[in-house]
Amino acid sequence: MQVPTVPPLEGVDDLYSLLAFLVDPEAVEKRLAQMESVRDEINKLVEKVGKAGDIDRLYIQAKTARETAERELEQAREKARQAMAEVDKADAARRADYAVQHAKMEADLASKRDELNAQAKTNAVDWHKIEQAESATRAADKARTAADARHAELTKLKEQYESKLAAIKKAAEGS
């Protein structure tokens, strides 16, 4: 005769896979149903096989085994709750760190934006000064061109005057 047993949980080999199993209520209920089925089968076999004098001892053993299983299940649930609390704590710390980093990046971005705006204002003032300087340079170039033309005209008049003066002096010396 083969002793009925519940096979080990498939895919559960560490705390995280146990947590994943415990989070799935359908899987837990299915597993509990399997365990209750095996318990019922064991109880039937005990009734069939157990001697009258051993029934009390067998009952106590079965009751002890059940209590042990219940304690182990509650311990596993408590470990799962603790693990979930640790995960939540780590997630909260990660979120807080992210919030700090995000706030720092926002502050840096605002600072860079302010610097850029200040530089844009400075650039606008500089471009205005450059335009004024170019306008003044064009005006100075026009004035210089006009002055050069006037100088050339005056030089020509001076030469005409000097040549007429020389002609008058020559005529006055010759008379």
Establish if 94 belongs to a structural domain: yes
More confident residue, 156 or 58: 156
d(CA 147, CA 141): 10
Tokens representing 12 are 């559960």
d(CA 115, CA 96): 28
Specify the pLDDT at position 73: 95
Specify the pLDDT at position 172: 83
* pTM score: 0.35
More confident residue, 4 or 132: 132
Total structural domains in the chain? 1
Establish if 40 belongs to a structural domain: no
Specify the pLDDT at position 49: 66
Establish if 23 belongs to a structural domain: no
Q: Region 125-144: what's the mean pLDDT?
A: 91
Kindly indicate the confidence band of residue 80, based on its pLDDT and cuts at 50, 70 and 90.
very high
Establish if 69 belongs to a structural domain: yes
d(CA 27, CA 15): 16
Specify the pLDDT at position 175: 66
Establish if 91 belongs to a structural domain: yes
Q: Region 9-35: what's the mean pLDDT?
A: 85
pLDDT > 60? residue 123: yes
Q: Region 26-37: what's the mean pLDDT?
A: 89
Kindly indicate the confidence band of residue 170, based on its pLDDT and cuts at 50, 70 and 90.
confident
Establish if 4 belongs to a structural domain: no
Q: Region 36-43: what's the mean pLDDT?
A: 87
d(CA 174, CA 168): 10
pLDDT > 60? residue 52: no
Q: What is the mean pLDDT of the chain?
A: 88
d(CA 155, CA 148): 10
Nearest-CA neighbor of 20 among 80, 106, 71?
A: 80
Establish if 21 belongs to a structural domain: no
Domain that holds residue 139: 50-174
Kindly indicate the confidence band of residue 51, based on its pLDDT and cuts at 50, 70 and 90.
low
Establish if 164 belongs to a structural domain: yes
